[in-house]
Amino acid sequence: MNNLSNRKFIVGLIFLAVGVIFAIRLFSVQVLNDEYKVDSDQNVLREIIQYPARGLVYDRNGELLVYNEAAYDLMVIPKQVKKIDTLAFCKLLEIDTAEYREKFTKARDYSSYKPSSFVKEISSISYANIQEQLFKYPGFFVQTRTLRKYPRNSAAHILGYIGEVNQSTIDDKPYYRSGDYIGKSGLEYSYENLLRGQRGVKRILVDVHNREKGSYKDGATDTMAVTGIAIKTTLDILLQEYGELLMQNKKGSIVAIEPKTGEILALVSAPNYDPNMLVGRAVKKNYPVLSQDSLNPLFNRALMAQYPPGSIFKTVQALIGMQQGVITENSGFSCIKSYVNCHNHPSAGNVAASVKMSCNPYYYSVFKRILMQGRSKSIFKDSELGLGVWAKQVKKFGFGQRLATDLPGIKRGNVPGVDFYNKWYGEGRWAFSTIYSLSIGQGEVEVIPLQMANLATIIANKGYYYAPHLIKEIDKTDTIPSIYRKKNDVGIDKKYFDPILEGMYGVVYEPGGTARRARIHDSIVVCGKTGTAQNPHGEDHSVFIAFAPKDNPEIAIAVYVENAGFGGTWAAPIASLMIEKYMADTISTKNLAKEKRILDANLMNVIPKK
C-alpha cells in the first residue's frame, strides 16, 4: 500500500496544474487582452443620435420657403430581434414578408449589433400606431428625424432637395455617417454646411434587453443637437411664383436680378416640378418619373441650358466697338442684306438706332471692324489677333465662364476664342468671313439665361456687376460670402452705355422698335433688347433682356422662351409683366389682356420649323 500513498502527489499535482492553468488563462483574459473591455462598453453603451432640424429658408421679404416636419425612422438592431410574429409586424408596417426578409438581411449584413434603419420616414399617423405595439418587437425602436417641407410649392430648382448620404461622401467627409441627410442640389447643396446644423449624441446605458438604464457618465459626454442656421435668400417668392405661372406650358427660363447688388429676384426654369415631390419616401417613386420625363423638369435651364444669345448680343458688340474706338456712337452702316439677312427697316445712322432696329448688317460691319484692325497683313492673322482681344473682352461680361453664383451645376456657356477656331477649322484656315455669325449672337457663341440677365444688369449699371447670387442674409452673421460683395468691372467706359440705353429705350417706346409689347405704363420706363435666336433643331427661340426703370434701375431681367419665335412676341411681354409685378405688385388693368395671352399660350409643342 505504501507505493499507493505516493499517488497523493499525482493527485495534488493535477489540482495544482489546473490552478496554474486557470491563473494563466485569467491573467491573459483579464490583464493582457483589452478586447473584452471594448466589447463590454459596446454592450452597454447605446448612442442615440439626435438629428438636428435643418436650417429654415426665407425669401427676401421673410416669407418662409422651407421648414421641417417631424418624421420617424424605424430602426433595428438585428442581434436583439427575437422570435416575433412577422406577419403581424409586416401588416403593421404595411410591407410584405419578402420585403421584411430583404430589409432584415441587409441590416444584419451591415451589423448585427449596430442599429440600422429598417423603414424610413414613417408618417405621424402610422407612427402612433406602430409606437403602441412596438414593445412586442424587441430589437426595433423609433428614431425621430425631420423632413423638408415646401409651403410655397415653387422654386424647386433653387431650393434643391436633400437625400441620404452615399458611401463616397461618407468616405470623403468625416462628419457624415450612414443615414445622415445631405443637400443634393440647389441651396440645400450650396449651403449644406450652414443648413445641416450639428448632430447631437446622447449616450445611454442599456441592459441586455436594450432597456434604458440611465445615462453614461451622467451625460458628461453627451452633446446636444444644434439646429441648422436659417438663411434668407434674395428670392422674391411672389415674383418667382408669378414667373413660374407665366412660364406654364412653355420651355425656357426667366432670370431677374437686382442690378445694384446682383441679388437674384427670380430664377424660373420651365417646366418645373413641385419641390415636395422629392421629399422622403416619395423620392423613390417620383425621382425616376421626373428624370425620365422627356421635357426634363429636373434640368435647371436658367443655369444649365446653353443657348445662342441672338440679337441681345449686339449690345455687347456695340460696346466693344466703341470701347476699342473702331466705331463711335454716331457711326452709321447701311443695311446691306447681302452681307447678312435682315428685316425691312431704314438703315441705322448711329448705335442707338442700330440697337432699336436690331440691324444685322450693321453688326456685321461692326464686328468686322473689331476683328480686322490691320494688326497684320494677312486677313487670317488679322482676324485671329482681333478675335483674341475680342474674346477676352467678352469674357469680362461674365460670358464663357462660370458665374460665381451659389447654385451648383452652372454651365460656362461658350465664347469661342482663337484656340476654339484653330481646333475647329485648323490654324490660319479661318478669318472674319468664316465666323461673322458671332456678330449677331449666332454661331458658336453660347450663353446661359443667367448670363443674359447679367448682361442686362451690366447695361443697367453702366459697366459693372456683382456675381448674381441667392444668399441675402445668414442667421447669426451680418455678412454674406465676400465673393458676392465684389464689384466686377467689365472694362467698358461708362459713357459708351448711353447710346445703348437710348437704343434699348427705343426698342420699347419708339416707332420701329422691336419690342413695343414690353411697354407697361407711363410710370415705369423699360429698356429692353429683343433676340430671336436661330435654332438648328426647330423654331427660333424668343429672347428678351430688359431693365427698369431707365434711371436708377431696380430690376434687370432676361427671358428665354424656347421655340417661341420672335423675341418681341413672347419674351418681351413676359419680361414686362415680371417687371410690373415686381415694381407695382399688381398687374394694371390695361395689361391684363397681355397677361391672359401669355397664360393661355401653350408653346410646348410648337411644330418644328423645317
Partner 1 sequence: MRRYGNIFANVDWATILIYLALVFVGWINIYAAVYSEEHHSIFDISQRYGKQLMWIGFAFILALVILMLEGHFFTSFAYPIYGVIMFSLIAVLLLGVKVNGATSWFQIGSIKIQPSEFAKFATVLALSKYLSGLSIRMQDFKTKVYAIAIIVLPALLILLQNDTGSTLVYAAFVLVLYREGLSGNILLFGILAIIVFVLTLLFGPFNIIITAAYAYIIIYTLLKFNVKATLVSLLLFSGLVFVFFNYELSQNLIYYGLGMLLFFLIAFLATRKEMKGKRSHYLGVGIFVVACLYIYSIDFTFNKVLKEHQRTRITVLLGEEDKLIEQIENLKLQRDVEGISAEKKQQIRDDIGAKRYSLRELRQGNGWNIKQSLIAIGSGGFTGKGFLDGTQTKFDFVPEQSTDFIFCTIGEEWGFMGTFVLVVLYIAIFLRLIFLAERQRSIFSRIYGYSVAAILFFHFLINIGMTIGLAPVIGIPLPFISYGGSSLWSFTILLFIFIKLDSERLNVLR
Contact positions toward partner 1, by CB under 8 A? 4-5, 7-8, 10-12, 14-16, 18-19, 21-23, 25-27, 29-31, 33, 35-37, 39-41, 43-44, 79, 112, 205-209, 213
Nearer Cβ to partner 1 (108/199): 108
Handedness of CA 238, 296, 450, 361 (dihedral sign): negative
Nearer Cβ to partner 1 (12/288): 12
Instruction: Give min distance, CB of 208 to partner 1, in A.
Output: 4
Helices (H), 351-429: 351-357, 360-371, 379-395, 418-425
Instruction: Give min distance, CB of 201 to partner 1, in A.
Output: 19
Dihedral, CA atoms, 181, 185, 186, 188, nearest 10 degrees?
10
Q: What is the DSSP letter of 276?
A: G
Instruction: Give min distance, CB of 12 to partner 1, in A.
Output: 5
On whether the CB atoms of residues 94 and 126 are closer than 8 A, the answer is yes
Q: In what order do the strands lie in the sheet with 212-215?
A: 45-50, 200-206, 212-215
Backbone angles phi, psi at 262, to 5 degrees: 80, 10
Nearer Cβ to partner 1 (40/124): 40
Nearer Cβ to partner 1 (32/125): 32
- Whole-angstrom distance, CA of residue 491 vs CA of residue 498: 15
Instruction: Give min distance, CB of 3 to partner 1, in A.
Output: 10
Number of C-beta neighbours around residue 474 at 10 A: 17
Instruction: Give min distance, CB of 2 to partner 1, in A.
Output: 12
On whether the CB atoms of residues 159 and 237 are closer than 8 A, the answer is no
Nearer Cβ to partner 1 (39/99): 39
Beta strand pairing call for 57-58 and 231-233: parallel
How does DSSP assign 192-206, residue by residue? HHHHT-B-EEEEEEE
Beta-strand ranges (E) seen in 115-258 are: 116-122, 140-149, 162-164, 181-183, 200-206, 212-215, 231-233, 252-258
Instruction: Give min distance, CB of 99 to partner 1, in A.
Output: 18
| Residue (of 329, 322, 367) closest to 348 by Cα position | 329
Instruction: Give min distance, CB of 230 to partner 1, in A.
Output: 42
Nearer Cβ to partner 1 (4/593): 4
Instruction: Give min distance, CB of 430 to partner 1, in A.
Output: 49
- Whole-angstrom distance, CA of residue 204 vs CA of residue 84: 26
Beta-strand ranges (E) seen in 440-540 are: 464-466, 471-474, 487-489, 527-533
Backbone angles phi, psi at 442, to 5 degrees: -115, -170
- Whole-angstrom distance, CA of residue 591 vs CA of residue 517: 10
Instruction: Give min distance, CB of 196 to partner 1, in A.
Output: 34
Instruction: Give min distance, CB of 97 to partner 1, in A.
Output: 17
Instruction: Give min distance, CB of 143 to partner 1, in A.
Output: 22
Nearer Cβ to partner 1 (80/354): 80
Nearer Cβ to partner 1 (33/169): 33
Nearer Cβ to partner 1 (53/76): 76
- Whole-angstrom distance, CA of residue 257 vs CA of residue 546: 11
Specify the residue for cell string 441667392: 470
Nearer Cβ to partner 1 (40/602): 40
Nearer Cβ to partner 1 (21/295): 21
